[in-house]
């Protein structure tokens, strides 16, 4: 039975746990449902009272005005047409099927890079437009020292004081990015309230006037593949400060923090597959591709 309705949080959490165990996505905290599945509209697929499939439609859209969806089917129930029905109803709900609009108006994430998802996408007129890589590396060796440009120092983010400056630099640094550029004050405050938030690991690079030039926001996951893992959550540099090695220095400073202060022995990060400058930095540091997720456009 398919219905548009608010999901039971416990049932949705159970479905997400089952999907993540097979696909490596989505990332889950110790409890609760990730924020990307809150708000918007929810399509539920139930069988015998159990949630076996789920689609989420972010009606707020991304930074470029496109609706964004997520589609998940419990691994044990794949191959039975549930994903096709969810995707078809998602298209109709988004108004794409009804209007026949061929433009880039709806994008849907598929966790992992699964052949079944690619086949379904092609059947329904979707095409792959983004590949989000997940990289990882061991963090057992000493991290090279971060060499900051002259006149630049590092300090920790101060909640209640640094939000506006961070949001402005983040907007400038990620003007091209469909999600990160849209980060608003309310989103940031929500992340600050999360159990994992650690202001000491939110490193800011400032000049002599305390003007923010760049940042490295680190994160620690309590359980990834059976144990804790650090994350290079977001690294950003103000456009006018790019090109002088600040991004690499911030990356190293965050890695050192995760290893020395948080005792992490491995680290991960997400990066767009076409972001060659960032990939070059990360690969030189020792990061290697782990897996990927694909976003499809209709």
Query: Is residue 100's pLDDT more than 70?
Result: no
User: Taking all residues of the chain, what is their mean pLDDT, rounded to a whole number?
Assistant: 92
Range of 63-67, 168-172, 279-283 with top mean pLDDT: 168-172
Closest-CA residue to 11 (of 65, 51, 53): 51
H-helix or E-strand spanning residue 235: strand 229-237
User: Which pLDDT value is given to residue 225?
Assistant: 84
Separation between Cα atoms, residue 164 and residue 185, nearest integer Å? 8
Question: What average pLDDT does this structure show over 75-94?
Answer: 94
φ/ψ of residue 196, rounded to 5: -80, -10
User: Which pLDDT value is given to residue 264?
Assistant: 97
φ/ψ of residue 123, rounded to 5: -65, -35
Q: Which of these ranges, 106-120, 177-191, 192-206, 226-240, has the smallest mean pLDDT?
A: 106-120
Q: Which of these ranges, 60-69, 83-92, 209-218, 259-268, has the smallest mean pLDDT?
A: 60-69
User: Which pLDDT value is given to residue 15?
Assistant: 96
Condensed to tens digits (0 to 9), the pLDDT of residues 117-140 reads 899 999 999 999 999 999 999 999
Query: Is residue 166's pLDDT more than 50?
Result: yes
Condensed to tens digits (0 to 9), the pLDDT of residues 33-45 reads 988 898 999 999 9
Output Rg (C-alpha) for the chain, integer angstroms.
Answer: 20
Q: Around Cβ 239, how many Cβ atoms within 10 Å?
A: 11
Separation between Cα atoms, residue 205 and residue 40, nearest integer Å? 36
Query: Is residue 98's pLDDT more than 50?
Result: no
User: Which pLDDT value is given to residue 210?
Assistant: 98
Contact 212, 165 (CB under 8 A): yes
267, β-bridge pairs: 137, 230
Contact 269, 232 (CB under 8 A): yes
Query: Is residue 154's pLDDT more than 90?
Result: yes
Closest-CA residue to 297 (of 122, 162, 177, 138): 122
């Amino acid at each position: 039975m398919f219905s548009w309705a608010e999901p039971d949080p416990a049932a949705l959490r159970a479905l997400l746990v089952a999907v993540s165990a097979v696909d490596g996505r989505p990332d889950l905290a110790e409890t609760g449902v990730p924020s990307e599945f809150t708000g918007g509209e929810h399509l539920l697929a139930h069988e015998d009272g159990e949630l076996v499939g789920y689609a989420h439609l972010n009606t707020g859209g991304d930074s470029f005005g496109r609706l964004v969806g997520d589609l998940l089917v419990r691994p044990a129930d794949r191959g039975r047409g549930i994903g096709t029905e969810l995707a078809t109803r998602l298209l109709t709900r988004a108004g794409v099927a009804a209007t026949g609009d061929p433009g880039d108006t709806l994008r849907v994430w598929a966790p992992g890079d699964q052949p079944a998802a690619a086949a379904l996408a092609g059947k329904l007129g979707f095409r792959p437009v983004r590949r989000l890589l997940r990289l990882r590396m061991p963090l057992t060796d000493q991290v090279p020292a971060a060499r900051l440009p002259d006149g630049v120092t590092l300090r920790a983010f101060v909640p209640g004081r640094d939000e506006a400056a961070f949001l402005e630099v983040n907007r400038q640094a990620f003007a091209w990015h469909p999600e990160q550029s849209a980060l608003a004050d309310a989103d940031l405050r929500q992340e600050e309230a999360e159990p994992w938030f650690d202001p000491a690991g939110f490193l800011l690079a400032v000049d002599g006037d305390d003007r923010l030039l760049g940042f490295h926001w680190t994160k620690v996951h309590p359980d990834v593949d059976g144990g804790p893992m650090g994350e290079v959550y977001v690294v950003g540099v103000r456009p006018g400060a790019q090109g002088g090695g600040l991004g690499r220095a911030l990356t190293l400073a965050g890695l050192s923090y995760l290893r020395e202060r948080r005792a992490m022995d491995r680290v991960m990060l997400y990066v767009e597959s076409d972001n060659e400058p960032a990939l070059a930095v990360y690969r030189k540091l020792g990061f290697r591709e782990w897996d990927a997720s694909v976003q499809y456009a209709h």
